[in-house]
Amino acid sequence: MVENRLEVNLKTMKLKTPLMTASGTSGHADEFLHLYDNQAILKSLGAFVTKGVTLKPREGNPEVRVIETRTGLLNSIGLQNSGAEKFIKEQVPKTSSYELPIIVNISADTVQEFGELAAYLVDNDVSRIISAIEINVSCPNLGEHGNIFGTSPKAVERVVKAVKKRIGDKVLVITKLTPNVTDITEPARAAIAGGTDVLSMINTLRGIAIDIDNCRPFLGNISGGLSGPAIKPVGVFMVYECFNKIAECNDKRVPIIGIGGISTWQDALEYIMAGASAVGIGTAWFVNFHVFEQVARGLNSYLLKKDKEISQLIGVATKCERKRRLRVQI
Ligand SMILES: Cc1cc2nc3c(=O)[nH]c(=O)nc-3n(C[C@H](O)[C@H](O)[C@H](O)COP(=O)(O)O)c2cc1C
């Protein structure tokens, strides 16, 4: 008998379900702990991913920071947070009550700062609560004239190397890729060359919404990141591309976490069949408080009906393309 059909492994990290929060959409610890009925959500989750943390506190971008569009959400929060010191002292200990692997999402302005921040967090996590560091490469590289780290494969490799050099194998390193590139396999390969253990994708897509009554962009920061249902096919495509074209992803030496626009169990399954070993859910949670329970329940019923385990379905949708390519070669 299969005890838990939803169990998956991300390298050394065991998850009771493949579901995670997407960074920035469920706060650090205080915000989540104050939610009504958070216990039901915790039961459905495999891991908790924190909102982005930076070395020093940040006030974030000017308001307006969030605007709803017809098919998704545009945000330009600007990484508002109280900095690494407060995070490690006040937030991390509270997350131990979740009884889940805790993944800390980090952002920085320079390659060196990424390494420094990762080392600070891991070295000061005295109770060893943090299971992984997720590097957000979708932030401006102040060392390279403000270009986004994640759009330059070389910068991605340097950041991952800097983090790995400082924390080694103490906790897993996940690199979260930006979709604002032409070929996602390039930064993915660069992250692997830098030593990442896991890849996660996608972060938000850049966009603008214009307030036609006032003839100006809605967001205080002018542009923002698009999330929600509109971006799901882009995310599924990027997971598929990496799983299909990168050997380390295909044989799960470097597993993928699929994120972007998931609001139902069918959406989650699409990501898994495209090659994701686990999935993150963000924006859907803002409109449906029960999304994690519903997705876990839906996946479980599907697996029972098919008499399968979730791990057997990772990447299955890429197999027909492989077979077709083989036929063409013959
Ligand atoms: C309000 C908001 C804040 C976010 N903050 C972060 C962040 O701090 N770090 C990060 O890597 N991604 C951040 N993201 C991106 C999400 O983690 C996720 O990659 C993206 O929203 C796509 O998933 P979704 O469509 O399920 O929301 C944020 C997204 C939103 C909507």
**pLDDT, tens digit (0-9, with 9 covering 90-100), for 184-207:** 999 999 999 999 999 999 999 999
Distance of CA 10 to the CA centre of its chain: 13
**pLDDT for the residue 301:** 98
Interhelix angle 185-194/232-245, rounded to 10 degrees, is: 60
Ligand 1 center to 283 CA (angstroms): 8
Catalytic residue among 139, 215, 242, 249: 139
**pLDDT for the residue 33:** 83
Who wins on pLDDT, 97 or 54?
Answer: 54
Q: What is the pairing mode between strands 147-148 and 102-106? A: unpaired
Ligand 1 center to 71 CA (angstroms): 16
Ligand 1 center to 52 CA (angstroms): 9
Indicate if ligand 1 lies below 6 Å from the C-beta of 259. Answer: yes
Q: Each residue of 172-187: pLDDT tens digit?
A: 999 999 999 999 999 9
Q: What are the structure tokens assigned to 236, written together?
A: 């599924």
Q: Are 98 and 119 in contact (CB under 8 A)?
A: no
Nearest CA to ligand 1 atom 8: 52
Closest CA to 274 of 286, 285, 287, 261: 261
Give the atom of ligand 1 at the shortest distance from the alpha carbon of 65. 1
**pLDDT for the residue 322:** 67
Indicate if ligand 1 lies below 6 Å from the C-beta of 64. Answer: no
**pLDDT for the residue 139:** 86
Indicate if ligand 1 lies below 6 Å from the C-beta of 261. Answer: yes
Residue whose CB lies within 8 A of the most ligand 1 atoms, among 227, 256, 262, 285, for a mutation test: 227
CA pair distance 160, 196, nearest whole angstrom = 6
Mean pLDDT of 265-274: 98
Mean pLDDT of 92-96: 94
Give the atom of ligand 1 at the shortest distance from the alpha carbon of 51. 8
What pairs with residue 141 in β-bridges?
A: 147
Q: What is the pTM of this model?
A: 0.97
Nearest CA to ligand 1 atom 6: 24
Ligand 1 center to 26 CA (angstroms): 10
Mean pLDDT of 51-65: 96
Task: Assign 3 a pLDDT band (cuts: 50, 70, 90).
Answer: confident
Indicate if ligand 1 lies below 6 Å from the C-beta of 262. Answer: yes
Indicate if ligand 1 lies below 6 Å from the C-beta of 178. Answer: no
**pLDDT for the residue 38:** 87
Ligand 1 center to 328 CA (angstroms): 40
**pLDDT for the residue 145:** 77
Nearest CA to ligand 1 atom 28: 24
Adjacency order of strands within the sheet including 276-281: 19-21, 276-281, 256-259, 198-201, 172-176, 130-136, 102-106, 48-49
pLDDT at position 153 over 70: yes
Which range among 6-20, 139-153, 258-272 shows the weakest confidence by mean pLDDT? 139-153
CA pair distance 216, 182, nearest whole angstrom = 29
Percent share of the chain, pLDDT over 70: 97
139 is catalytic: yes
Mean pLDDT of 32-54: 91
Residue 329 neighbours by CB under 8 Å, 6+ apart: none
Ligand 1 center to 12 CA (angstroms): 25
CA pair distance 134, 111, nearest whole angstrom = 15
Give the atom of ligand 1 at the shortest distance from the alpha carbon of 79. 8
